């Protein structure tokens, strides 16, 4: 393996461990819930989800789960939960 590629692999490992380097601005994901699958994501500074609860409340278990999973990689405006989940 070329030494330049080895250096890139090592740098990638370090970046992956230092998640504060990563800031997600836009993403979409499918979450398989207990009853159905839903598409949830973050775009233009706002959460979205295809579940019925989200349409009434502007947050749901799917968006809160994504906040928990992604943690400090989300921009401040994406953090909607005021309680520890």
Task: Report pLDDT for 45.
Answer: 87
Given this model, what pLDDT does residue 10 score?
Answer: 94
Start-to-end C-alpha separation, the chain: 44
Q: How far is CA 53 from the centre of its chain?
A: 19
Scanning the chain, the segments in alpha helix (DSSP H) are 3-17, 52-57, 61-70
Q: How far apart are CA 59 and CA 81, in angstroms?
A: 9
* pTM value > 0.75: yes
The domain segmentation of the chain, as residue ranges, is: 24-85
With left for phi above 0 and alpha for psi between -120 and 50, is residue 64 left, alpha or beta?
A: alpha
Q: Is the pLDDT of residue 84 over 60?
A: no
pLDDT digits 0-9 by tens, 3-58:
789 999 999 999 999 988 988 889 999 999 898 999 999 999 899 999 999 999 99
């Amino acid at each position: 393996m070329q030494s330049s590629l080895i250096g890139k692999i090592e740098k990638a490992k370090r970046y992956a461990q230092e998640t504060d380097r990563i800031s997600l601005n836009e993403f979409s994901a499918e979450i398989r819930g207990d009853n159905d699958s839903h598409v949830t994501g973050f775009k233009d500074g706002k959460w979205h989800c295809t579940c019925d609860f989200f349409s009434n409340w502007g947050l749901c278990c799917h968006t809160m789960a994504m906040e928990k999973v992604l943690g400090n990689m989300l921009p401040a405006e994406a953090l909607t939960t005021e309680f520890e989940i």
